[in-house]
Amino acid sequence: MKGLLKISGRILGVCIALFLMLFLFVFVSHQYPWLFGSKPAFRSEIPVAIDLSFSDWSEMKDIQLKTIDSAPSCASILGVFRGARSSSEHKCVNAGSLTFHYRDGQSLQLGILPGHHSSRYEFRYNHVLFSLPRSRFLEALQSAGIDISKVPQI
């Protein structure tokens, strides 16, 4: 009987340890997703249109640059965002927004942040901060007909 209790106690201890490890992993991966190099998981379909606007902080208003409705341009821009990598979180205000519009009427708005580095921009998606290559983003915008001189180079 003592041997059975000893084995049961060990099994219970192992189960508790495994549960705590799983809980810790889920907690850490939710709070610090950039530790795991996660990528954003957007819808699989290409948006039918993308609205792009940036903030003009000198006049305290948003300026809509353009609505992009070319399928190749929408696919190119979405491809840049799909290739983004998670980044460490900080509290920064949006420098602009990008809104993906889908055929079923749904839309997804992303706040674009400055990036604080000449090589990247940042955006938030599902409460996670991601960074994307500034050069690829600007190339995709330019090929879509956007005057990139109006895009903040912060």
Residue 140: CB atoms within 10 Å: 22
Residues 83 and 77 sit within 8 Å (Cβ to Cβ): no
pLDDT in tens, 42-100: 888 999 999 998 876 556 566 777 899 999 999 999 999 999 988 877 777 788 889 99
Helices (H), 32-86: 71-82
Whether 10 has a pLDDT exceeding 90, the answer reads no
How many angstroms separate the CA atoms of 111 and 95, rounded?
7
46 DSSP 8-state letter: P
pTM value?
0.70
What is the signed CA dihedral for 135, 85, 50, 138, rounded to 10 degrees?
0
